[in-house]
Structure 1
Amino acid sequence: MLLHTLYLIAIVAEAMSGALMGMRRGMDRFGLCLIGTVTALGGGTVRDVLLGHYPLAWISHPDYVLITIMAAAIAAAGARWLRHLQNLFVSVDALGLIAFTIIGCDIASTLALSPLIVVLAGAITGVCGGMLRDLLCNEMPLVLRQDLYASIALGAAALYLALQHVGVAHGVATLVVLVSGFTVRMLAVRFRWQFKVFTAADTGGAH
C-alpha cells in the first residue's frame, strides 16, 4: 500500500515536471501531455519491454495514463504557480526514484532473473522515464551528466536485494531503502555531490 501510494504521487509529480519542461520547449498541449505521460510511465515501459513482462503496467491499469494526462494538463494550466514549488518537486522526484526502483526490482524478482538483472531492472524503472523526457526535449539526459541519480538508483536496488537476501522482511527492507535512498539523493542535491564531468580538454581535444 505504501509503495502504491508513493507510486501514484510520483507519477503525478513526474508528469507535471515533464509537462513543465515541454512548455519551456514551446510544445502544444498534446505535446505536454505526451511528454508528461512518457516521463511518468516510460521507465516501467522500458523495463517491461526489455524483460518481456506483459501486459505493460499502463495497459493493465489504463487509469495511470488518465492520471498522468490530467497531471500534465494541470501543470500546463498552473505553470506560473508551480514554479514556486521547485523544492517540492525535487523531494517528490527523489521519493519517486526510489519507489520506482523498488517496484522494478519486485517485478523483475518474480521472473526468476539473476540478481544483476534485477538490480538493473530496478534502476531502469527509476531513471528511464526522465531519460526519455530529456531526449524528446532535445537535452542531454540528466543521468548521463554529473548528477548523482542513476548511481543512487543502482545503489538502492542493490541494497534492497541484499536486505532480502539476508532475510529482512519485505516491508522493513522497503522502508529502509526508501529512507536511505531518499536521504542520499537529497544530500546529493543539497551539497551538489557529483561525478567528474569530462570535457574536450580531457581527451586532448582542446588546444
Structure 2
Amino acid sequence: MLLYIIYLIAISAEAMSGAIMGIRREMDLFGICLIGTVAALGGGTVRDILIGHYPLGWVAHPEYLAFTICAAIVTAVAARKMHHFKSAFLIVDALGLVAFTIIGCDIARGFAHFNPFVVVIFGMITGVFGGLLRDVLCNEIPLVLQREVYASVSLVTGGLYVGMLWLNIDASISTLTALGVGFLFRLLAIRYHWTLPKFNDKDIRGFE
C-alpha cells in the first residue's frame, strides 16, 4: 500500500516535470499533457513491452492516465508559481525514481526466466526511461546521459532490493531499505553535485 501511494505521487510529480518542459518549449495544452504522460508512464510502458507484460500498466489501470493528465493540466494552469516548488519537485522526483525502480524489479521478478541482473536492468528502465523519452521528444540530450548521478541511483536501488530478496529477507523490509538507501543516495547526489566522468571531443583527438 505504501509503495502504491508513493507511485501515485511519483507519476504525478513526473507528469508535472514533463509539463514544465513542454511549457518551456511553448507547446499547446495537448502537447503539455502528452509530454507529462510520457514522462510519468513511459518507463513502465517500455518495460512492459520488452518483457511482454500485458495489458500495459496504464491500460489495466486507467486512473494512472487520469492522474498524469490532471497533474499536467494543473501545472499548465499554475505555471507561473511552479518555480517556487523546485526543491520539492527534486525531492519527489528522487522518491519517484527509487519507487519506479523497485516496482519495475518487482514486476520483472514475476518472469521466472530472468536472472537477478536482468531484473535490476528492468528496474532501471522503469526508473529512467520516462525522463529519457521526455527529453528526446523535447529535442534535448537526455539528462540521464549527460552528467547526473541518476541511473546509478536506480541501479544501486534495484541491486539492493533484488539482493535482499535473494537472501530471503522479508519483502517489506527489503522494499523500505532499498527505498530509503536509494532516496538518500539521490538526495546526496543533488546536494553535493555528484557527477560521473564526462568526455568531449578533446579526448578523441588522438584518433583523428
2: distance between equivalents of 1:67 and 1:155? 28
**Match runs of 1:1-207 below 5 Å:** 1-112=1-112, 113-204=114-205
1:142-170 Cα deviation digits (max 9, x unpaired): 11111100011011101101111112100
1:112-137 Cα deviation digits (max 9, x unpaired): 11112101110000000000000001
Deviation at 1:67, TM superposition (A): 1.0
Amino acid at match of 1:89: F
Gap runs ≥5 in structure 1? none
Name the count of aligned residue pairs.
207
- The two structures have a TM-score, normalised by structure 1, of 0.98
1: distance between equivalents of 2:53 and 2:183? 27
Amino acid at match of 2:144: V
- The two structures have a TM-score, normalised by structure 2, of 0.97
1:74-130 Cα deviation digits (max 9, x unpaired): 000001111110000000000000000000000000111111210111000000000
Moved over 4 A (4+): none
1: distance between equivalents of 2:39 and 2:101? 15
1: distance between equivalents of 2:127 and 2:169? 23
2: distance between equivalents of 1:152 and 1:204? 32
2: distance between equivalents of 1:90 and 1:19? 15
**What is the percentage of aligned positions where both structures have the same residue?**
55
Amino acid at match of 1:109: R
The SS at the match of 2:76 is helix
